[in-house]
């Protein structure tokens, strides 16, 4: 479905990147409910027909946005995640990610794409595939963290990974409301809590399970 001649006046690669960037902005500012080929094209200053030429459909473009963001984030945070060795450090990386990406609205855009996946099996499949680089990276990090704790045999790695991802996405969903909720304060609090838990874990014997 994707064309592949990089020898016109404009390269396909560059145009595709422009379109993806415009879609990201549209998702961030107008939300999935307000998205359309025309609203995206207006934002990027190109013709709406280009979206269908390069991505086949608006949904195809949304999948491309998810993949692009997943890959970019993976490359950007893999080094930091590789050095995480405590819960507090994991939260610190999450906080850095929040600080750096919140302004740009990239995580907010992702929550919008996820919301849009409801009721569209094709979009669901495409997105969950697109996010694999990122979920794999986070999962591996959590695996390593768990290895040293009393939770080792108690907590399936995938569940904890999902919970961490869910917490993060949920925060973005909620801070989208103009409530008094501040991500800054929330992450500061979570860092304190993480330090306390780290301390408890270090000073405790493996506890009784249920």
Partner DNA sequence: GTCTATAACTAGATAGAC
Partner DNA sequence: GTCTATCTAGTTATAGAC
Q: Which two tokens stand for residue 199?
A: 């301390």
Per-residue binding string, DNA, 6-45, x by CB under 7 A, is xxxxxxx-xx-------------------xxxxx------
Coil vs helix vs strand at 31 = coil
Per-residue binding string, a second copy, 112-141, x by CB under 8 A, is x-xxxxxxxx--xx-xx-------------
- The Cα–Cα gap between 28 and 153 comes to 40
Please, what's the b/e burial string for 125-155 (b: 16 or more CB within 10 A of its CB; e: otherwise)?
Answer: ebbeebbebbbebbbebbeebbeebbeeeee
Helix (H) or strand (E) holding 30: helix 12-30
Site residues (CB under 8 A) for a second copy, limited to 5-24: none
- The Cα–Cα gap between 146 and 126 comes to 30
- The Cα–Cα gap between 78 and 93 comes to 10
Min dist. Cβ of residue 17 to DNA (A): 10
Per-residue binding string, DNA, 48-77, x by CB under 7 A, is xxx-xxx--xxx------------------
**Which of a second copy, DNA, none has residue 49 at its interface (CB below 5 to 8 Å by kind)?**
DNA
Site for DNA contains 103 (CB under 7 A) = no
Min dist. Cβ of residue 60 to DNA (A): 8
Min dist. Cβ of residue 38 to a second copy (A): 15
Binding site for a second copy (CB under 8 A): 28-35, 108, 111-112, 114-121, 124-125, 127-128, 150-151, 154-156, 158-160, 162-163, 165-171, 173-174, 176-181, 185-186, 189-193, 195-197, 199-201, 203-204, 207-210
């Amino acid at each position: 479905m994707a064309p592949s001649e990089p020898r016109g006046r404009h390269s396909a690669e560059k145009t595709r990147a422009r379109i993806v960037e415009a879609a990201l902005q549209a998702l961030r500012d107008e939300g999935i409910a307000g998205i359309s080929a025309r609203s995206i094209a207006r934002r990027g200053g190109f013709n709406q027909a280009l979206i269908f030429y390069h991505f086949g459909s608006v949904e195809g473009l949304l999948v491309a946005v998810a993949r692009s963001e997943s890959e970019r984030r993976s490359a950007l945070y893999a080094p930091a995640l590789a050095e995480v060795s405590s819960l507090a450090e994991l939260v610190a990386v999450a906080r850095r990610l929040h600080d750096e990406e919140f302004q740009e609205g990239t995580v907010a855009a992702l929550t919008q794409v996820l919301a849009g996946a409801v009721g569209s099996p094709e979009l669901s499949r495409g997105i969950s595939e697109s996010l694999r680089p990122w979920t794999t990276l986070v999962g591996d990090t959590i695996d390593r963290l768990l290895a040293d704790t009393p939770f080792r045999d108690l907590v399936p790695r995938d569940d904890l990974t999902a919970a961490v991802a869910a917490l993060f996405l949920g925060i973005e969903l909620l801070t989208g409301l103009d409530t008094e909720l501040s991500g800054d304060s929330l992450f500061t609090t979570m860092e304190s809590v993480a330090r306390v838990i780290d301390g408890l874990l270090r000073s405790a014997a493996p506890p009784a399970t249920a």
